[in-house]
Amino acid sequence: MSPLFLSMLVSSVLGLGLAIPSYTCIVMGNLDIIRKKGKLSPTDVIFLAKGIVNLLLQCVLSLQGMIYVLCPEVFHITEVFVFMNTSIYFLIYYNFWLTFWLSAHYCTTITNLSYGFFIWLKRIVSNFLSHLLFLTVLGTFIVSVPWFWAPNPSENSTQASGNRYLKYSFYFVPTNTLGCILPTCLSLLCLVLTSSFLLRHVWRVKNNDSGSTRPNLQAHVTALRTIFFLLVMSAIFCMTQAVAYFQSDLLLIVSWDLHLLSPSVEAAVIFQASNKLIRIILRRFWTRNWRNTET
């Protein structure tokens, strides 16, 4: 077994082993919040959606990696290749747009921009988030539809590799532009606007001679950190896609490992962004341990 295949197999198993308990805790924690409070905040709704999407994405990615290593001839079946490819890109695109809606929520909540577009966006995100997420599902599915007709690289082996890459790029470039690059750019814009607003706010408070106390910005810093981490992961995914065009075994190993482990790593980003989830999980774990010791 080559180092690339061995690394893919290890990353597939490790990613699945990390994702299942992590995202199960995230989903169960949010369901516990619904049971107690009757509804979720916009951030909790997005975290719940991300938990479900990333769990499914990790399962499909790990399954793809295991099949590719242990039984690669399965990918010669066009139906299997189409299903796996379309499912993965649909989940990835939806996750990118979830990152944008989270960034937009943080931006419209933290900033005090009086432009009509931001006022409208704040009203939409606050009141119709569930509708937005449903429409996003439809939009990302439509964007992912062209992958049904993407050429299977395992077929037509006698065809020139340049022609295969050209045909594959015909599907790759426009769909990734709408599914990855556009939401990433919008999220980056939200991050820049939120950061600049907070820096101006801190500067005004610092230079204020009225003697007023400084506000607690810990929640805002956590929001900025969350957007930044998610954007870093988005950038890493885009780089792993670009590396596929380079003929370097080392780069392919690194890119495949990052690609397979990225959904599991995002669980850590969600946990650091939500103290509520951590408290619920710790309370459940502590209560269960206490009951076990009692019995």
Q: What is the pLDDT of residues 82-108, one digit of tens each?
A: 888 889 889 999 999 999 999 999 988
pLDDT of residue 101: 93
pLDDT of residue 110: 85
H/E element holding 210? none
Token pair recorded at residue 177: 């532009």
| Residue indicated by tokens 């532009």 | 177
pLDDT of residue 160: 46
How many helices (H) and strands (E) the chain has is answered by 10, 0
CATH number for the region 3-290 comes to 1.20.1070.10
pLDDT of residue 134: 92
pLDDT of residue 217: 77
C-alpha neighbours within 13 Å on the C-beta side of residue 29: 28
Write the single-letter amino acid at 252. Answer: L
What pTM did the predictor assign?
A: 0.86
d(CA 149, CA 181): 22
Q: What is the pLDDT of residues 12-49, one digit of tens each?
A: 899 999 999 889 988 888 888 888 888 888 888 999 99
Low-confidence ranges of the chain (pLDDT < 70): 1, 149-171, 208-216, 243-249, 284-295
d(CA 251, CA 11): 15
Per-domain boundaries in the chain: 3-290
pLDDT of residue 216: 65
**Residues in CB range of 293: below 8 A, 6 or more apart:** none
pLDDT of residue 103: 92
Q: Do 9 and 66 meet the contact criterion of CB atoms below 8 Å apart?
A: yes
